[in-house]
Amino acid sequence: MSFSDLVIRPRRLRRTATIRKMVRETTLSVDDFIYPIFVDETIDSPREVASMPGVSRIPLAMVGEVVQKVAALGIPGIILFGIPAEKDAVGSGGWDDQGIVQKAIRAAKAASPETCVIADTCFCEYTDHGHCGVLHGEDVDNDETLANLQKEAVSYAEAGVDIVAPSGMMDGMISAIREGLDEAGFKNIPIISYAVKYASGYFGPFRDAADSTPAFGDRATYQMDPANRREALKEAWLDVEEGADMLMVKPGLAYMDIIREVKDATNLPMAVYNVSGEYAMVKAAAEKGWIDEKRVVLETMLSFKRAGADLILSYHALDVARWLNEDKG
């Protein structure tokens, strides 16, 4: 028997591009993506976010145009973040019928009725202190914030939103919002929960984009410790029991293990947020010529899918859609 008779040859299935495609275990589709949009009530023209090249805050008047552009690329959904002209201690702009997100929801649905419009449901953009709820001293009052989250979610539903996405990591937020929506007659509005959201350094550029940097301290008393894995499963299962329709892990890149564990432990669709710091690092390295941006972005998105994500929220979504459409065409 020769040496070659003993060799197992996995390379046979890598020999041609066609064979590799035929046996590929994970694939990317434009249908996998949700594009974040920042709508700023205080501006009349786009304002680029310096730490996120290619991403801008847009005025309300541009929402329809941007949503139509997203839809034309085949991306099925957007998630809206609002920057209001006025802020207060409790974030009351979040449940104002004429608030910036409510107006943006109406504009988006008018421009592209088939686009799935998701509203981030939190208060950090609306409070004058930048924290995610009502403060008592320097502590966010969980239960007072729940009452306000109910009002915010109902207001978004009344404006025509398709899905609400609570992101503040308040205990009991899913059951409170589900109760509020159901009592207001919105039993069919789904909730995608930021169930597993870590207190992460990767969020830095987002806070420039959404004008939501805390005036003091950080969010470690309500967002999760990056060291904790079992706690992620606890948080996910609590939200399943409270009535979440989908779950999210945020950030994504440093938490691939968590995406897989939550996916395996639950039976709900799984989203991952490819956050601002992850985006900014790729953009900076690509600008320096250190990496092939297209190759790295597509590899990263594929990694999220391989880890278990069904949906990917990403600032790269427009580029990814163009690349995937070009490859198909």
Strand locations in the chain (E): 33-40, 47-48, 56-58, 77-83, 116-121, 135-136, 139-140, 163-166, 192-197, 246-250, 270-274, 311-314
Burial class (CB in 10 A: 0-12, 13-18, 19+), 7: exposed
CB 250 within 8 A of CB 262: no
Q: Which two tokens stand for residue 316?
A: 């790269």
Q: Which residues are annotated as a binding site for Zn(2+)?
A: 122, 124, 132
Q: Which two tokens stand for residue 216?
A: 């003091």
Q: Which residues are annotated as a binding site for Mg(2+)?
A: 235
Q: Which residues are annotated as a binding site?
A: 122, 124, 132, 207, 219, 235, 276, 315
Catalytic residue, candidates 197, 263, 283, 305: 197
Q: Which residues are annotated as a binding site for 5-aminolevulinate?
A: 207, 219, 276, 315
DSSP state, 225? Answer: P
- The question of whether 305 is a catalytic residue gets the answer no
- The question of whether 250 is a catalytic residue gets the answer yes
Catalytic residue, candidates 87, 103, 109, 250: 250
Which residues are catalytic, by number? 197, 250
